[in-house]
Amino acid sequence: MSQPQYLTGQPEAIQDFLSKFDIFLFDCDGVLWSGDHLFEGTVATLEMLRGAGKRVVFVTNNSTKSRTDYRKKLEGMGIPATEEEVFGSSYSASIYISRILPQRHPELKQKPKVFVIGESGIEQELDSENIPHIGGTDPAYRRYVEPSDYTRIAAGDPTILDPEVGVVLSGLDFHYNYFKICLAYHYIKRGAIFLATNIDSTLPSAGALFPGAGTMASPLVKMLGEEPLALGKPSQAMMDAIEGKFKFDRSRACMVGDRANTDIKFGLEGKLGGTLGVLTGVSTKQEFLEGDARPHFYVDKLSDLLAKR
């Protein structure tokens, strides 16, 4: 495995690095900001890249936010961005369901109905691809299980198990419950495809960890003995969806991230021309230099790229 090249304080090397790529895919938390704190130089670095004609894409596993929501979050952090520059796991899942699933599963209806475990971000993105869906934020699913549910579900009663559901999509759902898990399980047992927006086990918030989207799917995984196909980083299904949308040359693309085992791995497995690790997040210099997923390049912080020749 080759050694990562250190770019901080090397104007010539930075210039050379920048010239290799047309598009930069950014992980956000730990790269552009940390929690609520925007890193100094983030906006200037993004402007420098855009000014040099580079495309920037914000790649997020956050499934609760649509692209519109996430653009607002970026603006709230002080980062100007367009909706077109945002690529989230809910959008990735919607692209997958509408454009890729029909090729892989010709037995499915075109745009099968989706049973959603998740919040409105998923619903908005499914709507943007005109994919029919049930579950999600519908209050009818925010209830406890009733004795009659067992017999109705066991009997496949179409008033409780919609016969048109062909996909179960599991994302972060702050309102998940026993009833939704029962329905999702039975939809999958009846043949629905099991997808997850992403399988992150934890969600960072307020400086601590909370249950992530991956924990929503875990009761189903335990019952089924089967993992969902995940549409977020580091799944290559997400890379395929990004490429399908932006139509770029992978050899001229660079993934930027703070975590070796998700972000950098995502870029390496996607055979991108480059990966850039930043030391403002989770992974340490030692992980970048000695770990299993080593970036091609690394910097102390993203804004070190401003010191180009």
- Site residues for a second copy per CB under 8 A: 144-145, 150-151, 153-155, 173-178, 181-182, 185-186, 201-202, 205-212, 214-216, 218-223
Residue 27 among known ligand-binding residues: yes
Question: Smaller CB distance to a second copy: residue 102 or 211?
Answer: 211
- Strand pairing report for 165-170 and 113-117: parallel
- Candidates 29, 127, 240, 300; catalytic one: 29
Question: Smaller CB distance to a second copy: residue 154 or 306?
Answer: 154
- Candidates 27, 69, 200, 304; catalytic one: 27
CA-to-CA distance for 154 and 60, rounded, in angstroms?
38
Question: Smaller CB distance to a second copy: residue 95 or 116?
Answer: 116
Instruction: Work out how close the CB of 159 gets to a second copy at its nearest, in angstroms, rounded to a whole number.
Output: 16
Residue 149 among known ligand-binding residues: no
Question: Catalytic annotation on 69?
Answer: no
Look up residue 61 and give its amino acid.
Answer: N
Q: Taking Cα atoms as reference points, which of 309, 43, 308, 283 lies closest to residue 300?
A: 283
Question: Catalytic annotation on 127?
Answer: no
Question: Smaller CB distance to a second copy: residue 26 or 176?
Answer: 176
Which residues are annotated as part of the binding site for substrate?
233
Which residues are annotated as part of the binding site?
27, 29, 233, 258
The catalytic residue positions are: 27, 29
Which residues are annotated as part of the binding site for Mg(2+)?
27, 29, 258
